[in-house]
């Protein structure tokens, strides 16, 4: 950390945490004209798009050098793992960057109907259903490249890449963003989108602000992924999902992506986490309750090594909740709240936060209203946080246990799952809505759902759907390659 002697509030000088320094009383622009965004991954890019749409100048600061080709990069280690965007996220992205979904498709993204995706739940295969939504499946580096190109083409957005932020300070009403060996950037407002490992709590402490209350709920999930090429051996066009459960904490999924490729992901909890080498990758698939994925992989050509990722805990920093908060500072994306990635929520939540940012950026002239907007942004994490933490706490490997309300809720949704595999449309629709973050959790208690659940408690459960016929072709695919 480099502290400049002419910067009285630079990080590192005010080491003792204090309730929060007095805000400068001098004039501050009612609307920030220049906003610095730290981090040019999805949350930073969406934030930049929102701020630019509000007519402000944006400087995106990114530590990686960003190539013009779709490749994984060091600052985003999860880039080698599969990523999907939930339906709510697609809508928010389209609102921020009109036409972006069509651009993803034109670049090779696969549009998958999740209602027709073979999906193995603890109680059997889900029936095909029209009560669902589409997702776009493509490699994360390609999606990031396409979104970045769009954002950088917006008027007022510039990128400083290959420079790492090492601290923040205040100078009058301005913020100063300190760069390692590259000077400082002055801005009226700062948005931190530097991800799960953000140093913002440390920078804030240096400025005299209290650290955020932080929660970590961790079920020790491990990912192992491998990319494959389809040389014509596989005719399946959907994808396949096999859920892990607390009783059998090993799951997997396979998704077609651009250029005739597939991503195959294994996920396991605690001591069931998948290994790093090809032999353990194949062994893991063979232990799953259905041979579909082993057969699929046997019919594809490997296209790279196994990539593992184990930083998957739910981590939430509740900025603005306690103590003082500075004017003109907002936090978004994984820096604010990172989820267990298996629920696929992070990009969607970041895009929804950007929708709020578009309005927030007009109200950052004082500490009180900045803090109010930060709270609104944080509130968007409540529902996805409840989903992912409550689910994770069911696993024996989790660092906590469900409370009574969560246990009752799980019993309810468990009953819904049993009904859903038997083609109960109300339960299927409620699951699709909540999974895609298209509605509030109250959908799980909609009158039609409640009627089904209560009826099932006094009657018999429906017969589960048969194994999807599209999977029957996989053995045949295997033989023909």
Ligand X SMILES: Cc1cc2nc3c(=O)[nH]c(=O)nc-3n(C[C@H](O)[C@H](O)[C@H](O)COP(=O)(O)OP(=O)(O)OC[C@H]3O[C@@H](n4cnc5c(N)ncnc54)[C@H](O)[C@@H]3O)c2cc1C
Window 255-314: residues binding ligand X (CB under 6 A): 309
Window 136-195: residues binding ligand X (CB under 6 A): 164-165, 193-195
* Torsion angle of the four alpha carbons 383, 389, 393, 399, in this order, in degrees rounded to the nearest 10: -150
* Residue 315 binds to ligand X (criterion: CB under 6 A): no
Task: Give the nearer residue to ligand X in terms of CB position, either 28 or 38.
Answer: 38
* Of 13-21, 55-63, 208-216, 296-304: span binding ligand X (CB under 6 A): 55-63
The one among 11, 35, 37, 40 contacting ligand X by CB under 6 A: 40
Mapping DSSP to helix (H, G, I), strand (E, B) and coil, where does residue 32 land?
coil
Are 249 and 395 spatial neighbours (Cβ–Cβ below 8 Å)? Answer: yes
- Number of residues in the chain: 481
* Residue 334 binds to ligand X (criterion: CB under 6 A): yes
| Spatial distance between the Cα atoms of 411 and 394, rounded to a whole number of angstroms | 11
Rounded least distance, CB 457 to ligand X, Å: 35
* Residue 348 binds to ligand X (criterion: CB under 6 A): yes
Nearest to 241 by CA among 231, 233, 253: 253
Residue 235, CB-side half-sphere exposure with 13 Å CA sphere = 13
| Spatial distance between the Cα atoms of 378 and 376, rounded to a whole number of angstroms | 5
Are 180 and 11 spatial neighbours (Cβ–Cβ below 8 Å)? Answer: no
* Of 37-45, 145-153, 374-382, 423-431: span binding ligand X (CB under 6 A): 37-45
Nearest to 370 by CA among 201, 198, 189, 205: 189
Rounded least distance, CB 144 to ligand X, Å: 8
Residues 6+ positions from 84 with CB-CB distance below 8 Å: 112, 135, 136, 137, 255, 344
Write each residue from 97 to 136 as x if it is in contact with ligand X (CB under 6 A), else as -, in one continuous string: ----------------------------------------
Rounded least distance, CB 121 to ligand X, Å: 19
Rounded least distance, CB 86 to ligand X, Å: 7
* Residue 392 binds to ligand X (criterion: CB under 6 A): no
Q: How many CB atoms lie within 10 A of CB 63?
A: 20
| Spatial distance between the Cα atoms of 458 and 187, rounded to a whole number of angstroms | 63
Task: Give the nearer residue to ligand X in terms of CB position, either 132 or 348.
Answer: 348
Task: Give the nearer residue to ligand X in terms of CB position, either 194 or 390.
Answer: 194
Task: Give the nearer residue to ligand X in terms of CB position, either 424 or 433.
Answer: 433
* Residue 43 binds to ligand X (criterion: CB under 6 A): yes
Task: Give the nearer residue to ligand X in terms of CB position, either 83 or 316.
Answer: 83
Rounded least distance, CB 96 to ligand X, Å: 14
| Spatial distance between the Cα atoms of 27 and 33, rounded to a whole number of angstroms | 14
The one among 7, 36, 44, 92 contacting ligand X by CB under 6 A: 44
The one among 57, 64, 282, 303 contacting ligand X by CB under 6 A: 64
The one among 28, 36, 37, 39 contacting ligand X by CB under 6 A: 39
CA-only gyration radius of the chain, Å: 23
* Residue 352 binds to ligand X (criterion: CB under 6 A): no
The one among 76, 243, 438, 461 contacting ligand X by CB under 6 A: 76
* Residue 423 binds to ligand X (criterion: CB under 6 A): no
Contacts of residues 26-29 at CB distance under 8 Å and 24 or more positions apart, as own/partner, are 26/172, 26/173, 27/173, 28/173, 28/188, 28/327, 28/328, 28/365, 28/366, 29/173, 29/188, 29/365
Task: Give the nearer residue to ligand X in terms of CB position, either 223 or 228.
Answer: 223
| Spatial distance between the Cα atoms of 173 and 181, rounded to a whole number of angstroms | 24
Rounded least distance, CB 178 to ligand X, Å: 10
The one among 63, 150, 227, 273 contacting ligand X by CB under 6 A: 63
The one among 32, 36, 78, 314 contacting ligand X by CB under 6 A: 78
* Residue 85 binds to ligand X (criterion: CB under 6 A): yes
Are 227 and 262 spatial neighbours (Cβ–Cβ below 8 Å)? Answer: yes
- The DSSP secondary structure of 297-341, one letter per residue, reads HHTSEE-S--EEE----EEEE-TTSSS---TTEEE-HHHHEE--G
Rounded least distance, CB 354 to ligand X, Å: 11
Residues 6+ positions from 350 with CB-CB distance below 8 Å: 42, 43, 46, 47, 193, 332, 333, 334
* Residue 42 binds to ligand X (criterion: CB under 6 A): yes
The one among 10, 58, 62, 367 contacting ligand X by CB under 6 A: 62
The strand pairing partners of 316, in sequence order, are 215, 337
The one among 58, 189, 347, 430 contacting ligand X by CB under 6 A: 347
Window 198-237: residues binding ligand X (CB under 6 A): 223
User: Which residue ranges make up the site for ligand X (CB under 6 A)?
Assistant: 38-44, 61-64, 75-76, 78, 81, 83-85, 164-165, 193-196, 223, 309, 333-335, 341, 344-348, 350
């Amino acid at each position: 950390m480099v502290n400049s002697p002419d910067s009285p509030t630079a990080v590192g000088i005010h080491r003792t945490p204090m309730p929060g320094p007095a805000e400068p009383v001098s004039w501050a622009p009612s609307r920030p004209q220049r906003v610095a965004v730290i981090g040019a991954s999805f949350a930073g890019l969406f934030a930049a798009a929102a701020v630019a749409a509000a007519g402000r100048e944006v400087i995106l600061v990114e530590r990686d050098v960003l190539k013009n080709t779709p490749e994984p990069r060091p600052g985003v280690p999860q880039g080698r793992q599969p990523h999907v965007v939930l339906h709510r996220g697609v809508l928010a992205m389209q609102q921020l960057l009109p036409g972006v979904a069509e651009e993803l498709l034109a670049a090779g993204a696969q549009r998958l109907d999740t209602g027709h995706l073979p999906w193995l739940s603890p109680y059997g295969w889900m029936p095909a259903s029209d009560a669902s939504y589409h997702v776009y499946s493509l490699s994360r580096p390609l999606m990031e490249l396409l979104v970045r190109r769009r954002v950088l083409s917006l008027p007022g957005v510039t990128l400083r890449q290959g420079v790492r932020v090492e601290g923040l300070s205040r100078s009058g009403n301005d913020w100063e963003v300190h760069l390692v060996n590259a000077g400082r950037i002055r801005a009226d407002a700062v948005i931190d989108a530097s991800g799960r490992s953000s140093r913002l709590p440390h920078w804030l402490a240096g400025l005299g602000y209290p650290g955020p209350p932080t929660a970590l709920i961790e079920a020790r999930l491990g990912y192992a992924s491998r990319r494959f090429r389809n040389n014509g051996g596989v005719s399946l066009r959907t994808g396949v999902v096999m859920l892990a459960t607390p009783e059998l904490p090993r799951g997997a999924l396979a998704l077609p992506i651009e250029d005739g490729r597939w991503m195959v992901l294994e996920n396991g909890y605690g001591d069931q986490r998948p290994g790093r080498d090809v032999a353990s990758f194949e062994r893991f698939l063979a232990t799953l309750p259905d041979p579909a994925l082993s057969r699929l992989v046997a019919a594809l050509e490997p296209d790279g090594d196994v990539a593992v990722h184990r930083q998957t805990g739910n981590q939430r920093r509740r900025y603005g909740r306690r103590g003082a908060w500075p004017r003109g500072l907002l936090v978004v994306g994984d820096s604010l709240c990172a989820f267990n990635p298996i629920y696929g929520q992070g990009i969607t939540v970041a895009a929804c936060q950007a929708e709020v940012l578009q309005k927030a950026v007009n109200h950052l002239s004082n500490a009180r209203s900045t803090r109010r907007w930060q709270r609104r942004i944080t509130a968007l994490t409540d529902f996805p946080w409840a989903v992912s933490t409550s689910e994770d706490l069911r696993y024996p490997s989790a660092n906590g246990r469900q409370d009574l309300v969560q246990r009752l809720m799980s019993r309810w949704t468990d009953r819904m799952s049993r009904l859903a595999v038997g083609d109960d449309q109300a339960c299927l629709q409620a699951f699709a809505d909540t999974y895609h973050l298209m509605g509030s959790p109250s959908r799980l208690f909609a009158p039609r759902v409640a009627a089904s659940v209560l009826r099932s408690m006094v009657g018999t459960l429906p017969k589960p759907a048969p194994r999807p016929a599209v999977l029957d072709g996989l053995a045949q695919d295997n033989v023909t390659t």
